[in-house]
């Protein structure tokens, strides 16, 4: 049992949920979205944003921490934002998620080879070579990245930088059918208002 935002107990456990938010690519959109999370006390565990194949449309992958009530509220509150075209709850379908991380590991003449071997096992790429450190690039799901970091920890991790997770649902369908972009209605992408900042 855990207490939700409103002091009521619920039986759904706290865990991380991954959602995709398709938004109009306008100034302040990121602020609107993050400020909604902040104001309502929802926890963003990770957030990645990028443009899409459709001009004027960006896509965010957000990992939300909390129980099912919080996730549901977050989704519904997102759907109310004018800039949000669609929210995809990845609980509903199979998806692929990936994260990229850069890891700088300390090496000595004695550990150099061992570190390289472990990296090969993880298919981590070396992106920088120094006398006292190697920098690796690893992509993968959360488990793989965590395992890699744990393996490297004994050698001395100098620093890491993770991009946050990105996700796409599996299959040949697009998450957002093309006609969504042209349909009339408040959620559609009207021709972008000159250079109005929304």
Partner 1 sequence: MNGAQALWQTLINHNITTVFGYPGGAVIPLYDALTGFPEMRHILVRHEQGASHAAEGWAKATGEVGVCIATSGPGATNLVTGLTDAMMDSVPIVAITGNVPRALIGTDAFQEADITGITMPITKHNYLVRSANDLPRVLAEAIRLARSGRPGPVLVDVPKDVQLELFTGELTAPHARPELPAPAEPAIQKAIEVLKKAQRPILMVGGGAMDASKEIIEFARAWNLPVITTLMGLGIFPAGDPLWLGMPGMHGSVAANRAITNADVLIGVGLRFDDRVTGKVSRFAKNATIIHVDIDAAEISKLVHAHIPVRGDAGKAARYFSEHATYLENKEWHDKLQEWKERYVRHPVWSAGYAIKKIVDQLTEDDILSTDVGQHQMLAAQLARFQKPRRWLTSGGLGTMGFGFPAAIGSALADPGVRSVVIAGDGGFQMTAQELSTLIKYRIPVKIAVINNSFLGMVRQWQELFHENRYSEVYLGDSNPDFIKLADAYGIHAVRATNGEEMDSAIEAWLNHDGPSLLEAVVPNEHGVFPMVPAGASLEEMVETHEEAKQKQ
* Contact residues for partner 1, defined by CB under 8 A: 6-9, 28, 31-32, 35-36, 39, 69, 72-73, 76-77, 79-82, 186, 193-198
Q: Are 148 and 103 in contact (CB under 8 A)?
A: yes
The answer to whether residues 12 and 67 touch, using CB atoms and an 8 Å cutoff, is: yes
Give the nearest distance from C-beta 16 to partner 1 in angstroms: 21
- 22 and 83 Cβ atoms separated by less than 8 Å: no
Question: Least separation, in Å, of the C-beta of 82 and partner 1?
Answer: 4
Q: Which residues contact 196 (CB under 8 A, 6 or more apart)?
A: none
Give the span between the Cα atoms of 119 and 145, in whole angstroms.
Answer: 11
Task: Find the shortest distance in angstroms from Cβ 180 to partner 1.
Answer: 18
Token pair in block for residue 150 = 């744990």
CA distance 173 to 184: 22
Q: Which is nearer to partner 1, 8 or 53 (CB)?
A: 8
Instruction: CB nearer to partner 1: give 27 or 177.
Output: 27
Nearer to partner 1, 52 or 69 (CB): 69
Q: Judged by CB, which is closer to partner 1: 73, or 139?
A: 73
Q: How far is the CB of 192 from partner 1 (least distance, A)?
A: 10
Token pair belonging to 155: 């050698």
């Amino acid at each position: 049992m855990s207490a939700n935002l409103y002091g009521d107990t619920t039986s759904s456990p706290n865990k991380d949920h991954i959602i995709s938010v398709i938004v109009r690519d306008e100034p302040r959109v990121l602020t609107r979205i993050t400020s909604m999370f902040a104001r309502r006390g929802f926890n963003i565990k990770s957030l990645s944003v990028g443009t899409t194949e459709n001009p004027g449309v960006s896509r965010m992958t957000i990992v939300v921490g909390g129980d099912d009530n919080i996730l549901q509220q977050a989704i519904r509150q997102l759907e109310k934002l004018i800039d949000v075209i669609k929210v995809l709850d990845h609980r509903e379908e199979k998806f692929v998620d990936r994260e990229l991380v850069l890891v700088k590991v300390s090496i000595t003449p004695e550990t150099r080879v061992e570190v390289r071997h472990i990296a090969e096992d993880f298919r981590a790429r070396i992106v920088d070579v120094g006398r006292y450190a190697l920098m690796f690039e690893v992509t993968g799901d959360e488990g793989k990245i965590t395992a890699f970091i744990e393996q490297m920890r004994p050698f001395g991790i100098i620093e890491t930088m993770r991009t946050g997770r990105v996700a796409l649902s599996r299959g040949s369908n697009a998450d957002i059918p093309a006609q969504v972009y042209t349909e009339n209605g408040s959620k559609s992408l009207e021709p972008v208002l000159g250079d109005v900042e929304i």
